[in-house]
Amino acid sequence: MSTAKGLPKYNTREEVDFVIIGSGAAGGVLAKELSTNAFSVVVLEQGPYRTAADFKHDELDVIFENELLNHPGWNDPQTFRRFETETAVQMQGDPPPAYYARGVGGSSVHFTANYWRFHQSDFKERSLLGPMESTGFADWPISYEELEPYYARVDWECGVSGQPGPFEAPRSRPYPVPPMPVKSSGVLFEQGARAMGLHPQPAPLAILSKPLNGRPACVNCGFCMGFGCEVNAKSSTLASMIPLAEATGRCEIRPLSTVFRIETNDAGRVTEVVYLDSKGQQQAQKAKAVIISANGAETPRLLFLSESSRSPNGLANSSGIVGKYLMGNGHSVTQAAFEHQLNEYKGVQVTRIVHDFYENDPARGFYGGGGMDARPFLDSTPILHALTGLPPGKPTWGPEYKKMLRHYFTRKMSVLGSTTSVPLARNNITLDPNMKDDKGRPAIRMTYMDHADDLAMANFLQDRAVEILGAAGATEIWRDPVEGGTIQAHLLGTCRMGNDPSTSVVDKYHRVHDVPNLFICDGSSFVSSGRGQPTMTIQALAFRAAEHITTFARNGEI
């Protein structure tokens, strides 16, 4: 594991052009773009600098011990409650409510790599559908057409495999590499979906099917979801962007650096970023401008921690909406078993998707839309299969249990439905008033309960999944209950972008309304949730933000 990979080493007392907080899906792109554009860049990452050689097929460490999620230096708990009237508690025995990876590359290291683009409608649903009372339902200040060139850059520069589908918005370039080979789950899902009159398509994935940009193709090891890629075929920023940033000689990646405050001066400009280094020593890096790309939970936390007499409710929070409108994408899981072996434990998770239900349909009686995919899900690794993979009512130990593990492990698949999340002010990230981490920082407190329409959409997709799996010939089908989510891997909307400073935190260029030399670019910038799989859009936003920030800097407008 590398702990000091980046060159050069900037002096903390010398002002660099940019400090980027977070090296994940957005931070990695911004680091590469801005250093390529000749700016000096320091990236502060709270996790370690792992490389492909550090990743492993170890289900215990990675899935059960949260090796990629835990803070590397100290205990950093989180609390959860459904509603603001409740007292938030730490969920003992559960993964953290805000589920993100710490390490260079951030959650792009451990994600499943589903890379749908948003549709045109995602950016303007408020105009298309009208208002939703008591919600933050709003249009984005940008359109799909404005973002499309940057989606294409993600495809080609980060590396996305795929093939255009029937419902996809217009694209300026083809995919750089073809879709991944279809798996048994994809074949069955496609057969079932076509029998239902639907239009299944190959899944776009940020995993290379062919070599691209000096990186190798996937070897189908099967350890994608939750794991780091051991061959760099997964297009994390660790594999795709960070090496290019470092190659400029102008970007220093500073791992094991946990930011806890952004300082501002009397003029209301940020001046330096205060953090604890790998030895637990307090440091402060001076910068001309700061970009926060810490994710939709850590970003608002940091803004709250950076309160001052000028910003008593938190930095960048004159609107009072920092942390609000958290969206996680609802989901449903439908499991099935087949007569013959599927052997889903090999290969990537998802090879076929259905977008027939992506758009809102008033005939359903509720707002929302969603995408569906076929995958092994929790049956791709043996301990999770042993703990969660058998149909309800089966033995959980003994001779029959062992026989069933053997039988079902190779005969299972699941269909996942991913849905819209209505933006609600009551769903939010705040600082916990009681819980602190080992260094005295207030813990992340998540308050979250899905909107009734989100749950209705998840149930709708589950009904369709049952039909598809039945048409595909499943011998057994069972549903995981659709309930409000308590753990969110998609952390969206908590510093939303907009033109009005009273209802948004950043403008359409990701500049904070309140602070001219502070930018925020990550999932927190989202205005709506899409239908799941947000990372493609996070990265497109980052490419676009980098271009505008470069222009501002060159014109002396920061």
CB of 321 to other proteins, least distance (A): 23
Q: What is the largest CA-CA distance in the chain?
A: 73
Q: Which of residues 350-379 bind other proteins (CB under 8 A)?
A: 378
What SS3 state is found at 55?
A: coil
What DSSP string describes 111-159?
A: S--B-PPPPGGGGSHHHHH---TTS-----SS-HHHHHHHHHHIIIIII
Binding mask 509-538 for other proteins (x = CB under 8 A): -----------------------x------
Helix axes 25-36, 535-554, angle to 10 degrees: 30
- Answer yes or no whether residue 60 interacts with other proteins by CB under 8 A: yes
Number of other residues whose CB lies within 10 A of the CB of residue 215? 17
What does the alpha-carbon distance between residue 518 and residue 262 come to, in Å, rounded to a whole number? 10
CB of 112 to other proteins, least distance (A): 9
What does the alpha-carbon distance between residue 503 and residue 501 come to, in Å, rounded to a whole number? 6
Q: Which amino acid is at 521?
A: C
- Output DSSP code: residue 234: B
CB of 67 to other proteins, least distance (A): 5
- Answer yes or no whether residue 64 interacts with other proteins by CB under 8 A: yes
What SS3 state is found at 519?
A: strand
Among residues 42 and 384, whose Cβ is nearest to other proteins? 384
- Answer yes or no whether residue 137 interacts with other proteins by CB under 8 A: no
- Answer yes or no whether residue 67 interacts with other proteins by CB under 8 A: yes
Cis peptide before 8 (omega within 30 of 0): yes
Q: Which of 195, 217, 386, 471 binds other proteins (CB under 8 A)?
A: 386
Binding mask 487-506 for other proteins (x = CB under 8 A): xxxx----------------
What does the alpha-carbon distance between residue 367 and residue 524 come to, in Å, rounded to a whole number? 22
- Answer yes or no whether residue 58 interacts with other proteins by CB under 8 A: yes
Q: Which of 170, 362, 393, 398 binds other proteins (CB under 8 A)?
A: 398
Q: Which of 55, 99, 227, 304 binds other proteins (CB under 8 A)?
A: 99
Cα angle 484, 533, 508 (rounded to 5 degrees) comes to: 105
Binding mask 268-287 for other proteins (x = CB under 8 A): --------------------
Contacts of 402 (CB under 8 A, 6+ apart): none
- Answer yes or no whether residue 481 interacts with other proteins by CB under 8 A: yes
Query: Looking at 121-129, 190-198, 212-220, 410-418, which segment touches other proteins (CB under 8 A)?
Result: 410-418
CB of 74 to other proteins, least distance (A): 13
The first and second tokens of residue 304, run together, are 């709250």
- Answer yes or no whether residue 393 interacts with other proteins by CB under 8 A: no
- Answer yes or no whether residue 418 interacts with other proteins by CB under 8 A: yes
What does the alpha-carbon distance between residue 220 and residue 217 come to, in Å, rounded to a whole number? 9
In the complex, which residues of this chain contact other proteins (CB under 8 A)?
56-61, 64-67, 70, 92-95, 99, 328-331, 333, 378, 382-388, 396-399, 401-403, 405-406, 409-410, 416, 418, 480-481, 483, 485-490, 532
